[in-house]
Amino acid sequence: MGYFDPEPKKRKEDLFNMERELLDLDNGLRRGKLVVVSGLRRYGKTSLILTYLNESGLDYVYLDCRLLPPGMISLNSFLNLLEEELSRRSWAKKVLSSVDEVSVSGFGVRFRVRNERSLLSVLRALENKVLVLDEAQELRRSGYRFDSLIAHAYDHLNLKIIISGSMIGLLYRFLRVNDPEAPLYGRAFTEVKMRRLSEVESRQFLIKGFEQEGIDVSDEVINEAIKRFDGVIGWLTYFGFALTTSKEDVDSIHEKASKLALSELEHALKIYGVGERRYRETLKIIASLGKARWSEIKRGVEARLGRIPNNTLATIIKNLADSGFIKREGEEYEITDPVLQHGIRKYY
C-alpha cells in the first residue's frame, strides 16, 4: 500500500509532498541540536520524522510518549519504554556494550539499576544519534523533571533531539523555552510546523492514492471527502484506506472517523476528573454554534450546569486551546477539527 497505508510513513515514496518540511527538519538538525515538530492530530508529524530519519540513514531512538501509562509518569516507566526501543535497534547493542548500567543480551537491553544515573549513562553513549520524543507533552505528567533532562542532554551530550507534539500549547507549557526560570530557557531550536493540505493538494493526494490502489472513484466522492476532511492528511488517509478496503460510502466513513475523534477527546478529558462535565458543555456549545463568543459559552454552560466563575471558564478554555481541541479566531472560539466537531454535535 502507498499513500493510504494507515501506519506512519517511513519511506519517501509513500510520503506525499512535505518537501519543505523535510528540508526544514534537515536544516534544523544540521545547524542545531533541537528541533520541535508541531502540528495538530493527524497532520503527519510522526510520518515526517520517521521518513526523514530512515531516508537520511541516521541512527535514532524513537520514543512515543503516548505509550507511557496513564496517570503520573515515573522515571521507571520511561526507562521501560527506552529499554524496549533500544532492544529493537541493531546498533544499540554494540554502542551500549561498554555501559555498566545496562546489560545487553539476546533478550535485548535492560537497565541493571533503574535510576537517573543509569539513564544519563545510556544517553551519554548515544553519541551522534538522534533522540525522538514524540508526543512529548505527556512528559509533563511527572514528578521527574524531564525538561531538566532534555536541557542536560542539550547542554552536555553529543546527540540531537527531535521533540514532537499534537497538543502544541501543552507542549510549550512543558518546555517553557521562554521562561527564565525554566531549564530549557534561551536554548536555540528550530520549529517545523505541520500544516493542512490545500484543496488542490488534497485532491492530488486522493487521486494518486486511489490510482496506487487501482480503483476508480468518482469526482463526486472525492469532492465530498475534500469537503469533510478539510485538508487533514491523516483523515484523508483514513478515508482512502476505508474506501479501498471496505467500500463504504463517504457518509459512513465520516461517521466512523468522527466517533474515533470523539473517543480520543473523551480519553484526553479524563484527566479533569469531576471537572470534565464543564469541559464537555463548553465543547458542545462551541460545536453547536460553530463559532462562539465567550459570553455565549458562559451563558450556555451556566444554563446547563449552574454558575461558573470567570476564572474557571478561562482555565477550561485555555486548556482546551492548549490541547488543540479549540482555537480562537478574533473574538470567537471554534473546534479545530471539523471531523471532531461533527462527532460532538451528533454523539456527545
Ligand X SMILES: Nc1ncnc2c1ncn2[C@@H]1O[C@H](COP(=O)(O)OP(=O)(O)OP(=O)(O)O)[C@@H](O)[C@H]1O
- For Mg ion, which is the closer residue by CB, 192 or 316? 192
- Beta carbon of residue 62, minimum distance to Mg ion (angstroms, whole number): 10
Residue 342 interacting with ligand X (CB under 6 A): no
- For Mg ion, which is the closer residue by CB, 44 or 300? 44
Residue 9 interacting with ligand X (CB under 6 A): yes
Q: What Å distances lie between residue 313 and 272, 301, 341, CA to CA?
A: 13, 9, 20
- For ligand X, which is the closer residue by CB, 117 or 193? 193
Write each residue from 258 to 297 as x if it is in contact with ligand X (CB under 6 A), else as -, in one continuous string.
----------------------------------------
- For ligand X, which is the closer residue by CB, 111 or 239? 239
Residue 137 interacting with ligand X (CB under 6 A): no
Q: Contact region for Mg ion (CB under 5 A) — 27-35, 46-54, 90-98, 276-284?
A: 46-54
- For ligand X, which is the closer residue by CB, 28 or 44? 44
Burial of residue 249, with CB atoms counted within 10 A of its CB: 0-12 exposed, 13-18 middle, 19 or more buried: exposed
- For Mg ion, which is the closer residue by CB, 95 or 175? 175
CA dist., res. 88 & res. 109, Å (int): 9
- For ligand X, which is the closer residue by CB, 150 or 268? 268
**Which position's Cβ is nearest Mg ion?**
46
Q: Tell me which residue has cell 553529543.
A: 158
CB atoms within 10 A of CB 93: 16
Residue 42 interacting with ligand X (CB under 6 A): yes
- Beta carbon of residue 290, minimum distance to ligand X (angstroms, whole number): 24
Q: What is the DSSP letter of 111?
A: E
For 218-338, where are the E strands, in sequence order?
292-293, 326-329, 332-335
- Beta carbon of residue 98, minimum distance to ligand X (angstroms, whole number): 34
- At CA 249, angle to CA 248 and CA 251, rounded to 5? 120
CA dist., res. 133 & res. 232, Å (int): 22
CA dist., res. 208 & res. 203, Å (int): 8
Residues near 232 by beta carbon (within 8 Å), at least 6 away in sequence: 40, 42, 43, 196, 197, 337, 339
Residue 5 interacting with ligand X (CB under 6 A): yes
- Beta carbon of residue 123, minimum distance to Mg ion (angstroms, whole number): 23
Q: Choose, by CB under 6 A, the member of 33, 41, 160, 254 that binds ligand X.
A: 41
- Beta carbon of residue 24, minimum distance to Mg ion (angstroms, whole number): 17
36 torsion bin: left (phi>0), alpha (psi -120 to 50), beta (else): beta
- Beta carbon of residue 329, minimum distance to ligand X (angstroms, whole number): 22
- For ligand X, which is the closer residue by CB, 21 or 281? 21
* Cβ(176)–Cβ(185) below 8 Å: yes
Q: Contact region for Mg ion (CB under 5 A) — 42-50, 77-85, 113-121, 185-193?
A: 42-50
What sign for the dihedral angle of Cα 154, 195, 346, 253?
negative
* Cβ(120)–Cβ(50) below 8 Å: no
Residue 46 interacting with Mg ion (CB under 5 A): yes
* Cβ(313)–Cβ(301) below 8 Å: yes
Q: Choose, by CB under 6 A, the member of 3, 78, 154, 229 that binds ligand X.
A: 3
Site for ligand X in 206-265 (CB under 6 A): 233-234, 237
Q: What is the contact surface with ligand X in residues (CB under 6 A)?
A: 3, 5-9, 15-16, 18, 39, 41-47, 166, 233-234, 237
Q: What is the contact surface with Mg ion in residues (CB under 5 A)?
A: 45-46
